[in-house]
Every structure is written in C-alpha cells, then in structure tokens.
Chain A
Amino acid sequence: AQTVTQSQPEMSVQEAETVTLSCTYDTSESDYYLFWYKQPPSRQMILVIRQEAYKQQNATENRFSVNFQKAAKSFSLKISDSQLGDAAMYFCAPSTIQTGANNLFFGTGTRLTVIP
C-alpha cells in the first residue's frame, strides 16, 4: 500500500495571492498517477489536476499547477490568483495502476482558507 503525507493541516491565503500545498508519498511502483482533489463544504469531491508519473513536465490546469519531483516523491499543488471559491479541503492522492486496480490512496488533507 502507498502512504501519503500532507504536512499542512491548515493553510490560509489572501485573495489573489499564491499558495502552495505540499504532499509527499511513498510507493514501490515505477508507474502511477497522482491527483489533487478538492472537497468544498458541499462534500463533493472535485478533481483539480492529474499528473502521470512517467512525464517530466509538470501538469497545469488554468490557475492550478503542480511541482512533481519523482525522485523525492513529492507532489505539491500551487494555486495562483486565489479566489474565494478555492476554499476547501485539498487531498493529494496517488493511484496505483500496475495491477489494473486504479486504487486511490488519500492523504489526510489540507484545509485552505481564502481571506478576502
């Protein structure tokens, strides 16, 4: 099984500023995917961004980007130009795929507050 560590239980950011959420993980697999999900108070899990481990290029999705360091097993999320709607719990989740299982392993989450 994979282990996932999100060392920041809570973070806050001023509206329009940039914030980075950290995530480290441990896996014995060489090929896998990594995801960031957000969960607003509505509790709906929403996919934020996806990264394939075999790709060196960091994924970007509008204001969201990642810094993926495979050797260090680090997968941080950067949110630029933060908006009030970004306030949520953010979960880092590597996925195992080599067995065809596609299981997600979730970190403990980081609660992001956006200050107007």
Chain B
Amino acid sequence: SAVISQKPSRDICQRGTSLTIQCQVDSQVTMMFWYRQQPGQSLTLIATANQGSEATYESGFVIDKFPISRPNLTFSTLTVSNMSPEDSSIYLCSVVREVGYEQYFGPGTRLTVT
C-alpha cells in the first residue's frame, strides 16, 4: 500500500481565485493521478502527473485551468485556476507503484467555490 497525504483537506474559495492542492506519498511511485469527484458523482480522471514533463490531460481538461506539477517521484500539485462555483468538488490524488497494479488514493480535498 501507500500512505498519501493531501493539503489542504478542505477550503472555501472565492470566484476568480486559484487554489493549489498538494499530494505527498511516503515512498517513490511510478505514476500519480488527479481525479475530480463532483457532488454525488463518480470519479473523473483529470490528468496523469508525469515526473519531469508536462502532465497528460484527459478530454475536457486543459492545462490552463488545471496546471499540474510533479517535481519528483513522491510529490505532485494540482492548481485549480480562475475558479467558478462549478469547480466545487472533491479533488483526489492517487498513486500506482507499478503499472497494472492497484491505485491508492489520498484522502481528498473538498473545495467549495462561492
């Protein structure tokens, strides 16, 4: 398994501002991902965070809105930019130690945009 922490655990932000969410893993992992879970919905993959290169975004998500960094094998950040109330969601990071194996999830960040 993996021990994953996310900061902040929750935040309330004003429209038009940006929030950076941090994801820290207790040991090196092969892959890191960012998901969004809108209220009452399932999880949707935002992007794969690539170490040392640009993230790989899923359809419907763009770098200008959700810039992602992954400076090393244990840490990643997701920024939600120019927020609107529609961005109110839980944002989760997950990690994989080896391709093909299970993903482990962080505790999530609950974001409310007013």
* Partner of A106 from B42, B48, B90, B104 at Cβ < 8 Å: B42
Please determine whether A44 and B100 come into contact, CB atoms closer than 8 angstroms: no
Which residues of chain A are within 8 angstroms of B43 by Cβ–Cβ distance?
45, 91, 104, 106
- Per the bound structure, the CA–CA distance linking A91 and B103 in Å amounts to 13
Please determine whether A44 and B107 come into contact, CB atoms closer than 8 angstroms: yes
The answer to whether the Cβ of A3 comes within 8 Å of any Cβ in the partner chain is: no
Which residues of chain A are within 8 angstroms of B110 by Cβ–Cβ distance?
43
* Partner of B42 from A43, A91, A100 at Cβ < 8 Å: A91
Say yes or no: A35-B102 contact (C-beta < 8 A), given A43-B90, A44-B107, A45-B92.
yes
Please determine whether A97 and B102 come into contact, CB atoms closer than 8 angstroms: no
Q: Which partner residue on chain A sits nearest B109 by CB separation?
A: A43
26 contacts between A and B (CB under 8 A): A33-B100, A33-B102, A35-B102, A35-B103, A43-B90, A43-B107, A43-B110, A44-B107, A44-B108, A45-B92, A45-B94, A45-B105, A47-B104, A95-B100, A95-B103, A97-B99, A102-B96, A102-B100, A102-B101, A102-B103, A103-B33, A103-B48, A104-B45, A104-B94, A108-B42, A109-B42
| Given A103-B48, A106-B44, 15 further pairs, Cβ under 8 A | A33-B101, A43-B90, A43-B108, A43-B110, A44-B107, A50-B102, A91-B42, A91-B43, A95-B103, A102-B31, A103-B45, A104-B94, A104-B103, A105-B45, A108-B41
